[in-house]
Structure 1
Amino acid sequence: MSSKEKIFQDLEGQLIVSCQALPEEPLHSPKIMAKMAYAAMLGGAKGIRANSVEDIKEIKATVNLPIIGIIKAVYEGSDVFITPTLKEIDLLYKERVDMIALDATKRIRPDGTTISEIFPVIKQKYPDQIFMADCSTYEEAIEAYRLGFDCVGTTLSGYTDYTAGRSLPDFKLIERLVKAIDIPVIAEGGIWTPDELKRVIQLGVHTAVVGTAITRPMEITKRFIKAIH
């Protein structure tokens, strides 16, 4: 069994916890994200999604779980910010993350290319790397599958201007993709409750990512405050 097969086998039917905090959030710190990852592991998570080389280094030193690595970077003139250029992919590859996730939407990237133009270049440069496509629509996921991504995620459904307002989790998209492609589908985005997680697993996804509902106490608090006002 290849290392790639082993990673997907270990994640099948399991939970991945996204441990991220943006610079403006109180928990923004590699050490705190490592503690979050450790707590998630103790709770039964079988994988971690993390942002930035600094956080990933600290998490790798703390937990022995597969890591989906991303680097969020904002470039002027482009809405693509999840691992948007080759620069971020190079950094993640050097850090030896198990899987690199990147925006696979139809939007123009900071270097002026589309995902259809740049991913063959990425794949040729790093043929041994596992790549996850963060998509927002069925068509984007099908294109990612055609391009040779190892797995597709529903990460960006509701977060592109042309999918804004979609009800999340995007059960319809998840169900369509599970039926349409034979690579792992990863449910991600808007999973807030154990019941929602159970439902996406029952739809046949390979694995699911839960982030905000577990690791972002400020956002969790806001939901409770909203309920009483």
Structure 2
Amino acid sequence: MIESLKKKLIVSCQAWPGTPFYGDPRLIRAMAESAYNGGAGGIRANGEDDILEIKKNIPLPIIGIYKLPDKGGKTIITPDFESAKKLADAGADIIAIDATIEARPDTEELKQFIHQIKTELGISVMADISNLEEAIRAETSGVDIVATTMAGYTPYTTKTDGPDLDLIESLVKKVKIPVIGEGRFSKPEEVNDAINLRGAHSVVIGTAITAPWEITNRFVRAI
């Protein structure tokens, strides 16, 4: 499953409160079907309802996430085993978790969480990280993939203008597992750079493809 995503574009098909697509899994399925028709090699989706709907007629691997509050009330990506099980039961092929030190400071708990997902659910785990230290920690904790999803979104990392291509290159050199580029990709040349020059396994794009209001606003700002 992971190998099938190599040098492919993964489209993040999600919606959030206040946007036209939010609350209707059928609209998310239409979004994912559009990505499939355009040649995407995988989908990233949030929650079991959207994944179940996408799985009805879209034959692509799905990276499942669940944005929910953790014990402290902060929303993070797949905070517990219960949420991971719902994703697996819905048909997710890979489960992504927040593996930042900010969200999961206890390395032993991180290891146990990853081990539980892999052994009890029999599914691969992707770690959303923000820097090299977190990627190495995630790899030694047992994840199968690391992704730069959180780079620039933790208090101790800098938000780059566009994707953090230097971080991708550093990860590829330091970890043995596949590295997926994610976060602020908006141009085809950035995807080409990440995969063909920096060595990323694949790239995830969300807003630049699946948020028409944001795409429209880019053109409006140009005027």
Normalising by structure 1, what TM-score? 0.89
- Kindly indicate whether residue 118 of structure 2 is the aligned counterpart of residue 132 of structure 1: no
The answer (yes or no) to whether the contact 1:134–1:155 under 8 Å persists in 2 is yes
1:62 match: 57
Question: In 2, Cα distance between the equivalents of 1:174 and 1:221?
Answer: 29
Question: Identity percentage over the alignment?
Answer: 46
The answer (yes or no) to whether the contact 1:104–1:115 under 8 Å persists in 2 is no
- Alpha-carbon spacing, 1:160–1:125, altered in 2? closer, same or farther (3 Å): closer
- Kindly indicate whether residue 162 of structure 2 is the aligned counterpart of residue 168 of structure 1: yes
More divergent stretch after superposition (69-78 vs 191-200): 69-78
Question: In 2, Cα distance between the equivalents of 1:199 and 1:78?
Answer: 38
The answer (yes or no) to whether the contact 1:133–1:151 under 8 Å persists in 2 is yes
Unpaired runs of at least 5, structure 2: none
3-state SS of 2:43 partner: strand
Residue 227 of structure 1 and its aligned partner are, at CA, apart by 2.7
- Alpha-carbon spacing, 1:86–1:193, altered in 2? closer, same or farther (3 Å): same
Deviations 1:3-24 (A, max 9, x none): xxxx122111111111001122
2:178 match: 184
The answer (yes or no) to whether the contact 2:95–2:126 under 8 Å persists in 1 is yes
Instruction: Please list, as runs of the form range in 1=range in 2, the aligned pairs for 1:187-226 lying within 5 A after superposition.
Output: 187-202=181-196, 203-226=198-221
User: Which letter maps to 2:95?
Assistant: I
- Alpha-carbon spacing, 1:165–1:121, altered in 2? closer, same or farther (3 Å): closer
1:11 match: 5
The answer (yes or no) to whether the contact 1:86–1:122 under 8 Å persists in 2 is no
Question: In 2, Cα distance between the equivalents of 1:166 and 1:186?
Answer: 17
- Kindly indicate whether residue 143 of structure 2 is the aligned counterpart of residue 149 of structure 1: yes
2:41 match: 46
- Alpha-carbon spacing, 1:33–1:115, altered in 2? closer, same or farther (3 Å): farther
1:4 match: none
Deviations 1:91-118 (A, max 9, x none): 1122231000010000145xxx635423
The answer (yes or no) to whether the contact 1:19–1:50 under 8 Å persists in 2 is yes
Deviations 1:153-202 (A, max 9, x none): 00010111222433330011000001111111000111101011111011
User: Which letter maps to 2:110?
Assistant: I
1:85 match: 80
3-state SS of 1:186 partner: strand
Question: In 2, Cα distance between the equivalents of 1:34 and 1:15?
Answer: 17
More divergent stretch after superposition (75-84 vs 150-159): 75-84
RMSD: 1.7
Deviations 1:8-41 (A, max 9, x none): 2211111111100112211112101101111111
User: Which letter maps to 1:144?
Assistant: A
Residue 49 of structure 1 and its aligned partner are, at CA, apart by 0.4
More divergent stretch after superposition (114-123 vs 170-179): 114-123
The answer (yes or no) to whether the contact 1:158–1:166 under 8 Å persists in 2 is yes
More divergent stretch after superposition (81-90 vs 44-53): 81-90
